[in-house]
Amino acid sequence: MSRVKRSNDWGFPRWRGYDASREATTVRLCDRHGCEERGDCPAPKSPNNPERWHFCQKHAAEYNSKWDYFEGLEKAEAEERAKAERAENAGYAESAHYGWAGSGDGSRSADEMRALELLELEADADFPTIKRAYRAKAKEVHPDVKPGDEKAAKQFQALQVSYEVLRAAEERREWKG
């Protein structure tokens, strides 16, 4: 006698995931000829046209790199549209400090990322690692070690600025949290 297996659709909460189902889902493929990737990035076929191409992420990036958003607009109209876009998107930038924080997950500013790049560190580096990297690099180009070397002096100043940016960011994180 075979045992009947109970479905995962019974009871509350459902025992299967909300995205898990038994039915076949239709997947739209990339509209680029020969591409077999999932086409989940819509792109307009022409300006002010509701019809869309559906590309994979790689081909959408390629398509959008050549797209001129302000094509056919007067200079004043283009500036007005750009201003409206900035105003509409300002809320996203303003809400960045509400993130669930943790370095390397988008919670670092562009200045912090440039400072980490100068110190040759990953985005999720903790402050003791930053401090060690700063000291090691500063010892190599310090004006006392290389007197009269203008290039080394500029590197040292850049290292100092990057360390100050990262130190201030760390202090803000400690203060908030």
| 78-109-89 Cα angle (round to 5) | 30
Segment 16-23 mean pLDDT? 62
Position 132 scores a pLDDT of 95
CA distances from 171 to 108, 127, 147, 168 (A): 13, 10, 33, 5
Give CA–CA dist 14/119, Å, rounded: 49
Task: Calculate the dihedral angle through the C-alpha atoms of 145, 146, 150, 155, rounding to the nearest 10 degrees.
Answer: -50
Residue with the two structure tokens 């100043």: 157
As a whole number, the mean pLDDT across the chain is 80
Segment 143-149 mean pLDDT? 88
Residue 132: other Cβ atoms inside 10 A = 13
pLDDT surpassing 60 at residue 112: yes
Segment 91-115 mean pLDDT? 66
pLDDT digits (tens, 9 = 90+) for 20-50: 666 667 788 898 889 999 888 888 777 677 7
Position 101 scores a pLDDT of 46
